[in-house]
């Protein structure tokens, strides 16, 4: 069942959602969107804001997304959807996030479990490498560091 506030599947019919949002994101939305009677498995990942990075206490994150980040996310989802998958959904947050907030949700359904899990992992890796979203980590000592900036 597709949620009324989500983008309709793209031309391929296999990308149900590819969104960058300043609003909170929901794993359940992505899971609902990739559900399909022909799918035997769903690979899902939920990325959260953690309280430490490389031994340093993190207090918050700020994600900055290029204006074309969502378009690029959709293209990456289309690449994954071109494989042996049924449906793909991905959401990435932008803006200020607190510890524990959800930063990323991906869900991929496929005929079999192994394909679903592999496609979800590849989607995460491709998203991190190809979608222009940068993270500024704010540390407890008052300093900050940009991660993923070219």
Please tell me whether residue 35 adopts helix, strand or coil conformation. Answer: coil
As beta bridge partners, residue 133 has 65
On whether the CB atoms of residues 3 and 29 are closer than 8 A, the answer is: yes
Q: Is residue 146 part of a domain?
A: no
pLDDT at 150: 62
Looking at the chain, list the stretches that DSSP marks H as alpha helix, in order from N- to C-terminal side. Answer: 27-34, 69-81, 113-130
pTM score over 0.75? yes
Number of domains in the chain: 1
Query: Residue 77 domain-assigned?
Result: yes
Distance set, CA 98 to CA 9, 21, 24, 132, 135 (Å): 31, 15, 11, 21, 13
Structure tokens, 103: 């930063």
Residue 15 in any domain: the answer is no
Q: What are the tens digits of pLDDT across the range 108-143?
A: 999 999 999 999 999 999 999 999 999 999 999 999
Range with the poorest average pLDDT among 15-24, 49-58, 82-91 = 82-91
**Residue 147, Ramachandran bin (φ over 0: left; ψ between -120 and 50: alpha; else beta):** beta
Does any domain span residue 67?
yes
**For the chain, what percent of residues have pLDDT higher than 70?**
90
Report pLDDT digits (tens) over 70-115.
999 999 999 999 888 889 999 999 999 999 999 999 999 999 999 9
Domain boundaries, position 121: 26-141
């Amino acid at each position: 069942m597709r949620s009324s506030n989500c983008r309709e599947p793209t031309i391929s019919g296999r990308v149900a959602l590819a969104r960058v949002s300043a609003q909170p994101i929901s794993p359940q939305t992505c899971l609902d969107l990739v559900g399909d009677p022909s799918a035997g498995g769903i690979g899902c990942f939920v990325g959260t804001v953690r309280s430490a990075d490389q031994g340093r206490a993190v207090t918050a994150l700020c994600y900055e997304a290029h204006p074309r980040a969502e378009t690029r996310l959709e293209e990456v989802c289309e690449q994954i959807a071109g494989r042996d998958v049924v449906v793909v959904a991905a959401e990435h947050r932008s803006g200020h996030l607190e510890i524990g907030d959800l930063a990323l949700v991906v869900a991929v359904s496929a005929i079999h479990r192994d394909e679903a899990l592999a496609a979800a992992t590849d989607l995460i890796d491709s998203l991190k490498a190809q979608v222009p979203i940068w993270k500024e980590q704010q540390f407890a000592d008052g300093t900050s560091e940009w991660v993923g900036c070219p």
